[in-house]
Structure formats: structure tokens, C-alpha cells
Amino acid sequence: MNKMIKLIKNADIYAPEHLGLKDILICGNKIARIDDSIEGYDNLPDVDIYDARGMIVAPGLIDMHVHITGGGGEQGPTSRVPEINLSELLLNGVTTCVGLLGTDGTTRSLENLLSKCKALNEEGMTCYMLTGAYQYPSPNLMGNVIRDIMLIDECIGTKIALSDHRASNLSCDELIRVASDTRMGGLLSGKAGMLCMHMGVGKNMLNDVFYAIDHTEIPISTFLPTHMGRNIPLVSQGIRLTEMGGNIDITASDPAISDKAASDMIAYALRNGASADSITISSDGCGSQPRFDEKGECIGLDYTSPKVLLIELKNCVFKEDIPLEVALKFLTKNPARIIGKAGVKGEVKMGADADLVVLNENLDIVHVMAKGEHAADNGNAILKGRFEK
């Protein structure tokens, strides 16, 4: 499917709401029409027609937490994780991602992050970025986080770390200041202005976040805590945040690294009052998965891949009996809203970007379309980075 006009026939559309069997007309990089039957395009020279044969067609996945330039470093220079390739994202259904820094905000620079973000956009997918890192004051490119969000097209928010021995141990006032600046940058630029907060296992958990919400006028939507599935106490505080109108991001689990599935925590959150519209799942792709002993010393290090998103989608549907149209929200419509791209990303609807995944009945990826281009076909990457073989 390489032509400007494409017609997908007989698609069982999950938009993520289940629309049933319909046809999808794509012009350039946009969805132009969805109808029960779209006719009149047969044998036209400038139209590619694909018969989905009743397979599921859903929005391309949005991964809000990817270390696109690599994470790690907790065991010295040799433990730095390599940067991600375009094909690794697309083959796993990710057509939109948000790149960010982690523990290492020194050798993993924002300059490098921005350049990699631009490269992924040029190569065929959609990529945004966050300024900041674990450190405070927040590393930035243009003088402060307000200027970064306002003046860098790709930048939509800020990254910090809380309740973690690797973090800068922000005071409540410092958290309020960076949240205020992130909010202001979002307002002035018309962007999301989201503050992504890496949450460790420290005893303070979300207490400072609740303080900031209770003692300022900063909207609760500014705050997005991630890695919220670490344990029951943390996810319980996350449920409280969602009941107040906030959102939580739960990191998908790789069964090769952890025996704790994120789907377990998602099901727990739903059973205990969290709205399905308030939950997102991200991969922490190319981010380190260090193991620390009781003294805080790193005793092992792995890293994860965007492949975990599909693993958790399947877990939600087949293990936790969460309806597919609900489970897909965690990876499509909900993150699109949080990153300020509602109606453009994360939905199969007229006017939205033509980012699509075709899934079989086992929820395995058959095809991926990014920006209206055929990006992956039955496990084979069609779009690749310049130096990928």
C-alpha cells in the first residue's frame, strides 16, 4: 500500500469503540471516510485496495514513555542501553511515542534526545519529547522548561523523578515550581504541558503531589505519575488520584524480566474505583530495569522493549476479561488525550491521522500503518531507519 489513496475493506473497526465491519478510505496521511461500504475505487490506477477480511483494525499504539536514546547507566558506562530503532517501534504497533530521559541526564543529553526525536519523525512515525530528567533543577535546552515547551515544536512537557533514591529529592515547593512552569509552557504553546513523574518505591509515594494539588491552582491534569503499578500501596494512591480527576500511567511488564504483570494492577485499579478513561500503559522502552539490594546497590540490570505493550493488551483481554474496546483505550485514546492530541491520534475516525494496526483474533499484529504509509507486514518491517539492515 504505497499510493496516496488507500481503501481498507471489511475492517472490524475498534476505534477503540467497537464499530463493527466497515470500510476505511485514507487520503495521504489522514482518514477521509468511514462507511459500511465504500465503492467506486476498483481498478483506479492511484488507489491501493486492501481486504482486511474481517480482521480487527485499531488505532496505532501510543507509547508515552520511551527512552529513544537509550536509558540505563546504573552500573557505569557499559550499562548504558542502546538507542531504539524505528522498526522496533513499528513492528510492535507503536506509531506515536514520547521520548524522554531517565537516570542519566548528563551523557544522555536533551540535544541528543531532540535530534533522535526529529529522526524518528523524518523516518516515518510520530515522536514527541519531554524536557528535564531525574535531576532538579530540570535540565533544559532554551534556558528553562517554559521556553523548551514553547520554542521546541516536539517538546510537550517535562520529566522529573519522585520517591526514588536516584532522584533529586525535590521539596514540595520545588515540585510546585516545575509543575507551574510546565503548565505555563503548555498554555503559552497550546500543547499538553504534562509533567511526567517517574515514581519510585520510596515511602513518600504521591504525598507531595497531593500536597501540590491541594495547595495550588495547578490543574490535576498537569500531573502524570508513571510506573504506578510497582505495588498495591502505590496503585492505591493512584486510584485516589483518578477519583479526583487525574490520570495514572502503568508500565507494562516483560515476563522475561518480571513475574508481575501490569494487567494485574490495572484490573485491581478498575475493581477499586479507577475509571478506565484515567489509565494508560507505556513500555519504558529501552529504559533500564535495575535490581537493587537493601543497601541501594545495583545487583542486576535488564531493559525492556515496546513489545511489552501487546503482551499487556493480550493479558488485559484474555487474562483479566477486560473488553478489547476498553483495553485499547489504555494504549490509544487515553494517551492521545493526555499528550494533547485527542481526535488526531489514538482513534479511528474521520480527520484523524492514518495510524492503524491490523490484528488477528489472537491480537497478533498483521499489518501496521503509520502516517498513511504501510509500515510493517506480517512481522517484516517495511519502514526502517536509515542505518537499519
Q: What is the pLDDT of residues 31-90, one digit of tens each?
A: 999 999 999 998 888 899 999 999 999 999 999 999 999 987 777 887 788 899 999 999
* Residue pointed to by grid coordinates 519510585: 200
Q: Are 159 and 122 in contact (CB under 8 A)?
A: no
pLDDT confidence band for 100 (50 / 70 / 90): very high
Domain architecture of the chain: domains with CATH: 5-58+347-381 (2.30.40.10), 61-338 (3.20.20.140)
Mean pLDDT of 250-272: 89
Q: Is the pLDDT of residue 375 over 90?
A: yes
Strands 5-14 and 56-59: parallel
Q: Are 59 and 346 in contact (CB under 8 A)?
A: yes
> In 10 A of CB 190, how many CB atoms?
9
> pLDDT (tens digit, 9 = 90+) per residue, 143-183?
999 999 999 999 999 999 999 988 889 999 999 999 999 99
Burial of residue 121 (number of CB atoms within 10 Å: 0-12, 13-18, 19+): middle
Q: Are 285 and 63 in contact (CB under 8 A)?
A: yes
Strands 288-292 and 298-303: antiparallel
**Collapsed DSSP state (helix, strand, coil) of residue 194:** strand
pLDDT confidence band for 2 (50 / 70 / 90): low
Instruction: Tell me what percent of the residues of the chain surpass a pLDDT of 90.
Output: 84
CA dist., res. 142 & res. 147, Å (int) = 6
The closest of 8, 9, 17, 6 to 328, measured between CA atoms, is 17
Looking at residue 329, its pLDDT comes to 98
pLDDT confidence band for 291 (50 / 70 / 90): low
Catalytic residue chosen out of the listed positions 284, 293, 302, 355: 284
Q: Is the pLDDT of residue 367 over 80?
A: yes
For the sheet containing 194-199, what is the strand order? 61-66, 94-99, 126-132, 155-162, 194-199, 223-226
Looking at residue 91, its pLDDT comes to 98
DSSP state of 332: T
Catalytic annotation present for 148: no
The pTM (predicted TM-score) of the whole model is 0.95
List the beta bridge partners of residue 162: 199
HSE-CB at 1 with a 13 A cutoff on CA atoms is 27
Looking at residue 292, its pLDDT comes to 64
> In 10 A of CB 350, how many CB atoms?
14
